C-alpha cells in the first residue's frame, strides 16, 4: 500500500512539474524553445511510465513491469536528458539577457529622470527668455516712444523754421540742426531694426506701390544730404518699363536709403551718386529686378568687400573716425534683400575713375499693368535745349522728354548756337560759375527751367532773364518736371522757398489727440502749413476729451497718440468706433501717430480698428502723404493768378496816377523787366567784390528807381541795402539784397504776366 501511495505522489510531482513548464512556455519566444519539445516528450513518457507503475500495484496489471521501463521511464529520462541539455543554455542565456535588459531599463529610467529634470530647467529657461523678450519688447517700445516723441518736436519745429526770415548765418545753423536730427533718427531706426532682426521678428508687409514714385521719393528725401556735400544725386528707371508692383515699399525704400546715404557719405564734393535699375527676369506672376547705386567716392578695397555687410563693420578705423555711422545700415540691407529672395554685392564702378557700385536683386509680385496711351504727347513740337546736363541725369531727361514728343538738343548736338528754343533746361551745379545760364539760347518767349540744389542762388541769376522761369529742386522726377514745364505759373517749385506756395483747402475736419501740449501745437502747425484752415483742426489732450469732441462733431480723420494716461490710444480708438456706430455715421479713419512702431504695436493698432500708423518723428512730406490718402484737396491755383492780375492792375493804376497814358504802360513795364534784373546782377557783383564806390552808385539808382514808386514794398529793402553798403557791412548787405529779391520775385512775375496779357490783348 505504501508503494502505491509513493508512486501516486511521484506521478503528481511529475505532473505538477509538467504543468509548470507548460505554463512557463507561454511567456517564451520561439527562439527560446530550443529542445523544448524533447522535454515535453520526456515528461509525457515519464507520466505514462509512472501511470503503468501505479497499475502494476494491482494484481490484474502485474505483468506490465516491462512496459513501464520500455515505453515509460527509460525513454522519458532519455528525452528529458536530451531536452534539458539543449534547453538549459537557452534558459541561462535568457536570464543573462533579462539581467542586461534590467540594467538597461534602470539606466534608461535614470536618463529619463535626468531628461525630465533637464526639461524642467529648460522650461524655466524658456519662461525666463520669454519674460526677457517681453521686457525687451516693452523696453524697445518705451524707448522708441520716449526718443521719437521729442525728436518729433525738434524736427517738426526745424521744418516750420524753414520759412522764417533768417539771414544766411542762421539758415546755415538751421540746416546743420535739421541734418543732425535726421542723422540721429536714421541711427535710431537702424538700432530698432537690428533688434527686430536679432529677435527674428522682422517681417515684410506686401502692398501695391509704384516703383518709379518710390525711387523719386527716396532721392527727394536724401537731396538735402547730397546738396550739403555738393554731390549730384540722380535716380532713373526707363519710362518704357512698367513700375506697378506689389511688395514692401517701405523696406525697399529703406534699402535705397541705406545704400544711397552710404554712397553720398563716401563721395567727395563734385561727385555723382546714381540709382537706376530694371527687370532682369519676368515670370508669370513675379519679376526679378536688378538695382545699382553707383558713386564716384573713395571706393572699397577688394579685400574688405567680404566684410562690408557684417554688423558694426566699416572699412577701417580711419574711415570710422572720418565718417559717422553704426555699421548696421548695410547689414540690415543685406537681411532685407535676402528676405526678398535676392542677393547683394559690391564691385568697382567701371563707369568712373573711382568709386563703387552696390548692386542687389529683389523679386516683386506683378500688378495688372494698365494700357499706356502712347499717343499722349504733351510736349509735341517743343524744341528743348539741355545745358550742362550729363551722365544719368542727361539720360533721364532725354528719355522722358522724347517720350513726351519733344525734340532735344544738347551741347554735343550739331546745331546752330544762335538757334532759339521753346524751352531751355539748365543743370545748376553748386560749383557752377556765376553766369551758368546760356543766354544765347534764350529769347523773350523762351521758357527757362533751372535744375538746382540752391534755389536762392539759382533764382538770383534767373531773375536777369526774360520769360517764364522755373527753379526746380533736384533730384528731378518725371512728374515734377512735366508739371514745371506745362504749368510754370502755378508749380510749387517755381520760386525760391521764401515765396508763398499754393494754398489748399481740404474737404473735412481733422482731430489731433495727444497728451503732450507741444506735440499738439506742432502737429497743428504742420497741418496748417499743408493747407488746413484753423477751424478745420481740433485738438484733444486726452482720450476723454477726444470722445467729448467726437460726440458733438464729425471728423474725417483722427491722428491718435497711443501712450496716454488713464485712457490709452487703443482704448480711445475702440471707444471712438463704438460712438461713431451709435451716431450712425461712416466708420472713422484713425491713424496711430506714435513713436512706438514695433511690429507688436502695429498689430495692436490693426486689431483696434486703426487704418494706419504714422511714425514720430514725421516729416512734412510724410504727413502730407498720409493726409492726401484721406482728404480731397481743392487747389486754389486761381488765387495765384488773381494776385498776378491784381498786381498788374496796381501797376496800371500807379502808372496812370503818374500821368502816363495807357499806350505807354507796356513800354514802362518792358523797361522795368529789363533794367531791374540788370541792376540786381550788377549790385550783387559789386557787393561780392566789395567794390564800395560801384556798389553805392548802383544801390542809389536802385533806391531811387521807378520800381520803388510803383511798388512801395520795395522802398524799405532798397534803403537797407544802401545803408549796409555805406557801412561796408558786406555780409549784411548781401543778406538785405537777398531780402530785396524775395520781395521782388513775385513783382517780376506780375510784370511778366502784365506783358503777356497785354500782348494777347493787342493781338
Tens of pLDDT, residues 200-230: 667 787 889 999 989 988 888 788 788 878 8
Give yes or no for residue 455 having a pLDDT over 80: no
339 and 433 belong to one structural domain: no
- The answer to whether residues 422 and 414 touch, using CB atoms and an 8 Å cutoff, is no
Give yes or no for residue 185 having a pLDDT over 70: yes
Could you tell me whether strands 510-513 and 504-506 are parallel, antiparallel, or unpaired per DSSP bridges?
unpaired
Domain membership of residue 68 (yes or no) is yes
Could you tell me whether strands 612-615 and 589-594 are parallel, antiparallel, or unpaired per DSSP bridges?
parallel
Return the number of other C-beta atoms located less than 10 Å from residue 429's C-beta.
Answer: 18
Q: What are phi and psi of 384, to 5 degrees?
A: -120, 135
| 292-306 average pLDDT score | 87
Angle in degrees, 0-180, between the axes of helices 715-726 and 730-762, rounded to the nearest 10:
150
671 and 546 belong to one structural domain: no
Q: Which residue has the higher pLDDT, 544 or 41?
A: 544
Q: Which residue has the higher pLDDT, 473 or 638?
A: 473
pLDDT at res. 668: 74
Q: Which residue has the higher pLDDT, 78 or 341?
A: 341
CA angle 430, 433, 698 (to 5 degrees): 110
Residue ending a domain, among 633, 665, 686, is 633
Give yes or no for residue 674 having a pLDDT over 70: yes
Quote the mean pLDDT of the chain: 76
The label of the residue with cell 551745379 reads 429
Strand ranges, E, within 151-227: 207-210
191 and 331 belong to one structural domain: yes
Smallest CA-to-CA distance from 610 within 659, 656, 648, 561 is with 561
200 and 218 belong to one structural domain: yes
Domain membership of residue 157 (yes or no) is no
Give yes or no for residue 115 having a pLDDT over 90: no
The residue count for the chain: 763
| 516-522 average pLDDT score | 83
pLDDT at res. 441: 64
Residue ending a domain, among 591, 610, 633, is 633
576 and 617 belong to one structural domain: yes
CA atoms within 13 A on the CB side of 496: 24
The C-alpha atoms of residue 5 and residue 8 are separated, in whole angstroms, by: 5
Could you tell me whether strands 447-452 and 423-427 are parallel, antiparallel, or unpaired per DSSP bridges?
parallel
Give yes or no for residue 111 having a pLDDT over 80: yes
Q: Which residue has the higher pLDDT, 46 or 393?
A: 393
- The answer to whether residues 191 and 328 touch, using CB atoms and an 8 Å cutoff, is yes
- The answer to whether residues 463 and 744 touch, using CB atoms and an 8 Å cutoff, is yes
Residue ending a domain, among 454, 486, 518, is 486
The C-alpha atoms of residue 22 and residue 39 are separated, in whole angstroms, by: 10
Give yes or no for residue 430 having a pLDDT over 70: no
Domain membership of residue 164 (yes or no) is no
Domain membership of residue 492 (yes or no) is no
The C-alpha atoms of residue 684 and residue 705 are separated, in whole angstroms, by: 17
pLDDT at res. 362: 95
608 and 684 belong to one structural domain: no
Smallest CA-to-CA distance from 422 within 387, 378, 467, 462 is with 467
Give yes or no for residue 326 having a pLDDT over 70: no
Give yes or no for residue 125 having a pLDDT over 80: yes
Domains contained in the chain, number? 5
Q: How far is CA 349 from CA 227, 268, 274, 359, in A?
A: 22, 15, 11, 11
308 and 342 belong to one structural domain: yes
Give yes or no for residue 495 having a pLDDT over 50: no
Return the number of other C-beta atoms located less than 10 Å from residue 642's C-beta.
Answer: 11
Domain membership of residue 473 (yes or no) is yes
pLDDT at res. 207: 86
- 200 conformational bin, left if phi > 0, alpha if psi -120 to 50, beta if neither: left
The C-alpha atoms of residue 519 and residue 540 are separated, in whole angstroms, by: 11
Q: What are phi and psi of 289, to 5 degrees?
A: -110, 150
CA 636 to chain centre: 32
CA angle 212, 214, 215 (to 5 degrees): 65
Burial 689-724, CB ≥16 within 10 A → b, else e: eeeeeebeebbeebbebebbebbeebeebbbbbbeb
Give the chain's end-to-end CA distance (angstroms, integer): 162
Q: Which residue has the higher pLDDT, 15 or 496?
A: 15
CATH value at residue 549: 3.40.50.2300
Q: What is the dihedral of CA 307, 310, 311, 316, to 10 degrees?
A: 10
Domain membership of residue 710 (yes or no) is yes
Domain membership of residue 420 (yes or no) is yes
Lowest mean pLDDT among 76-85, 343-352, 514-523, 753-762: 753-762
Return the number of other C-beta atoms located less than 10 Å from residue 315's C-beta.
Answer: 19
pLDDT at res. 87: 61
Smallest CA-to-CA distance from 684 within 700, 705, 698 is with 698
597 and 730 belong to one structural domain: no
- The answer to whether residues 560 and 523 touch, using CB atoms and an 8 Å cutoff, is no
Domain membership of residue 210 (yes or no) is yes
Q: How far is CA 320 from CA 230, 297, 306, 324, in A?
A: 21, 15, 17, 6
CA 454 to chain centre: 27
Residue 688 bridge partners (DSSP): none
- pLDDT tens digits for 717-762? 888 888 888 888 888 888 788 778 777 776 776 676 667 666 544 4
Range of the domain at 546: 504-633
- The answer to whether residues 443 and 420 touch, using CB atoms and an 8 Å cutoff, is yes
509 and 626 belong to one structural domain: yes
Q: How far is CA 284 from CA 288, 337, 389, 607, in A?
A: 11, 21, 39, 34
pLDDT at res. 435: 57
Radius of gyration for the alpha carbons in the chain, expressed in angstroms and rounded? 46
315 and 205 belong to one structural domain: yes
- The answer to whether residues 217 and 479 touch, using CB atoms and an 8 Å cutoff, is no
391 and 318 belong to one structural domain: no
* Residue 491 pLDDT class (50, 70, 90 cuts): very low
Residue 162, C-alpha cell as written in the block: 524753414
| 372-391 average pLDDT score | 79
**DSSP secondary structure string for all residues of 411-462:** TTS---TT---SEEEEE--TT--S--S-GGG--TT-EEEEEES-HHHHHHHH
pLDDT at res. 496: 33
* Residue 590 pLDDT class (50, 70, 90 cuts): very high
CATH value at residue 741: 1.20.120
CATH value at residue 234: 3.30.565.10
Lowest mean pLDDT among 84-93, 110-119, 490-499, 509-518: 490-499
The C-alpha atoms of residue 69 and residue 46 are separated, in whole angstroms, by: 10
Return the number of other C-beta atoms located less than 10 Å from residue 101's C-beta.
Answer: 10
Please name the helix (run of DSSP H) or strand (run of DSSP E) that holds residue 363, with its range, or none: strand 356-366
- The answer to whether residues 642 and 721 touch, using CB atoms and an 8 Å cutoff, is no
200 and 337 belong to one structural domain: yes
- The answer to whether residues 444 and 465 touch, using CB atoms and an 8 Å cutoff, is no
Amino acid at each position: 500500500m505504501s508503494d502505491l501511495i509513493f508512486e501516486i505522489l511521484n506521478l503528481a510531482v511529475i505532473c505538477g512539474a509538467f504543468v509548470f513548464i507548460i505554463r512557463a512556455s507561454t511567456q517564451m519566444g520561439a527562439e527560446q524553445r530550443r529542445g523544448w519539445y524533447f522535454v515535453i516528450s520526456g515528461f509525457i513518457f515519464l507520466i505514462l511510465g509512472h501511470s503503468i507503475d501505479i497499475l502494476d500495484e494491482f494484481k490484474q496489471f502485474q505483468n506490465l513491469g516491462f512496459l513501464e521501463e520500455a515505453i515509460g521511464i527509460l525513454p522519458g529520462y532519455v528525452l528529458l536528458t536530451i531536452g534539458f541539455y539543449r534547453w538549459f543554455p537557452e534558459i541561462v542565456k535568457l536570464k543573462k539577457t533579462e539581467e542586461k535588459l534590467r540594467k538597461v531599463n534602470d539606466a534608461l529610467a535614470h536618463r529619463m529622470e535626468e531628461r525630465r529634470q533637464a526639461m524642467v530647467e529648460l522650461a524655466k529657461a524658456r519662461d525666463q527668455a520669454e519674460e526677457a523678450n517681453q521686457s525687451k519688447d516693452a523696453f524697445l517700445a518705451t524707448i522708441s516712444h520716449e526718443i521719437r516723441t521729442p525728436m518729433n518736436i525738434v524736427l517738426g519745429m526745424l521744418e516750420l523754421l524753414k520759412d522764417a526770415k533768417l539771414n544766411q548765418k542762421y539758415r546755415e545753423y538751421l540746416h546743420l540742426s535739421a541734418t543732425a536730427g535726421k542723422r540721429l533718427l536714421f541711427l535710431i531706426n537702424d538700432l530698432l531694426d537690428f533688434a527686430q532682426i536679432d529677435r527674428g521678428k522682422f517681417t515684410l508687409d506686401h502692398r501695391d506701390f509704384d516703383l518709379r514714385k518710390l525711387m523719386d521719393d527716396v532721392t527727394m528725401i536724401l537731396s538735402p544730404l547730397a546738396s550739403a556735400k555738393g554731390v549730384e544725386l540722380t535716380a532713373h528707371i526707363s519710362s518704357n518699363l512698367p513700375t506697378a508692383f506689389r511688395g514692401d515699399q517701405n523696406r525697399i525704400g529703406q534699402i535705397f536709403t541705406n545704400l544711397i546715404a552710404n554712397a553720398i557719405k563716401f563721395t567727395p564734393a563734385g561727385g555723382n551718386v546714381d540709382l537706376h535699375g530694371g527687370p532682369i527676369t519676368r515670370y508669370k506672376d513675379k519679376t526679378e529686378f536688378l538695382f545699382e547705386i553707383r558713386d564716384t567716392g573713395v571706393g572699397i578695397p577688394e579685400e574688405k568687400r567680404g566684410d562690408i555687410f557684417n554688423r558694426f563693420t566699416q572699412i577701417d578705423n580711419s574711415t570710422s573716425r572720418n565718417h559717422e555711422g553704426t555699421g548696421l545700415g548695410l547689414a540690415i540691407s543685406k537681411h532685407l534683400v535676402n528676405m526678398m529672395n535676392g542677393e547683394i554685392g559690391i564691385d568697382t564702378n567701371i563707369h568712373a575713375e573711382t568709386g563703387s557700385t552696390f548692386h542687389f536683386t529683389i523679386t516683386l509680385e506683378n500688378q495688372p499693368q494698365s494700357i499706356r496711351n502712347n499717343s499722349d504727347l504733351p510736349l509735341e513740337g517743343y524744341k528743348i535745349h539741355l545745358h550742362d546736363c550729363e551722365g544719368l541725369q542727361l539720360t533721364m531727361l532725354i528719355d522722358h522728354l522724347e517720350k513726351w514728343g519733344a525734340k532735344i538738343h544738347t551741347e554735343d548736338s550739331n546745331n546752330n548756337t544762335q538757334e532759339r528754343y521753346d524751352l531751355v533746361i539748365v543743370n545748376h551745379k553748386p560749383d557752377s560759375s556765376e553766369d551758368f545760364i546760356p543766354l544765347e539760347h534764350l529769347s523773350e518767349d523762351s521758357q527757362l527751367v533751372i535744375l538746382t540744389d540752391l534755389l536762392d542762388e539759382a533764382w538770383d541769376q534767373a531773375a536777369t532773364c526774360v520769360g517764364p522761369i522755373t527753379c526746380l529742386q533736384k533730384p528731378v522726377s518725371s512728374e515734377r518736371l512735366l508739371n514745371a514745364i506745362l504749368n510754370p505759373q502755378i508749380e510749387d517749385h517755381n520760386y525760391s522757398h521764401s515765396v508763398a506756395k499754393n494754398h489748399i483747402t481740404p474737404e473735412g475736419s481733422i482731430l489731433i489727440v495727444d497728451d503732450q501740449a507741444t506735440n499738439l501745437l506742432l502737429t497743428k502747425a504742420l497741418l496748417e502749413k499743408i493747407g488746413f484752415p484753423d477751424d478745420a483742426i481740433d485738438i484733444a489732450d486726452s482720450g476723454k476729451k477726444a470722445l467729448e469732441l467726437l460726440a458733438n462733431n464729425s471728423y474725417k480723420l483722427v491722428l491718435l497718440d497711443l501712450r496716454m494716461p488713464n485712457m490709452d490710444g487703443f482704448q480711445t480708438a475702440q471707444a471712438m468706433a463704438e460712438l461713431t456706430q451709435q451716431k450712425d455715421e461712416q466708420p472713422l479713419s484713425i491713424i496711430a501717430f506714435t513713436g512706438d512702431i514695433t511690429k507688436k504695436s502695429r498689430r495692436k493698432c490693426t486689431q483696434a480698428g486703426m487704418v494706419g500708423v504714422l511714425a514720430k518723428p514725421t516729416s512734412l512730406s510724410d504727413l502730407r502723404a498720409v493726409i492726401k490718402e484721406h482728404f480731397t484737396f481743392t487747389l486754389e491755383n486761381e488765387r495765384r493768378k488773381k494776385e498776378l492780375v491784381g498786381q498788374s492792375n496796381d501797376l496800371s493804376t500807379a502808372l496812370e496816377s503818374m500821368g502816363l497814358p495807357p499806350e505807354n504802360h507796356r513800354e514802362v513795364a518792358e523797361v522795368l523787366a529789363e533794367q531791374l534784373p540788370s541792376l540786381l546782377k550788377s549790385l550783387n557783383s559789386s557787393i561780392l567784390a566789395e567794390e564800395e564806390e560801384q556798389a553805392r552808385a548802383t544801390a542809389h539808382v536802385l533806391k531811387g528807381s521807378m520800381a520803388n514808386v510803383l511798388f512801395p514794398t520795395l522802398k524799405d529793402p532798397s534803403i537797407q541795402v544802401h545803408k549796409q553798403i555805406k557801412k561796408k557791412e558786406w555780409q549784411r548787405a548781401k543778406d538785405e539784397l537777398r531780402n530785396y529779391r524775395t520781395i521782388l520775385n513775385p513783382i517780376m512775375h506780375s510784370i511778366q504776366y502784365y506783358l503777356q496779357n497785354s500782348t494777347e490783348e493787342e493781338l
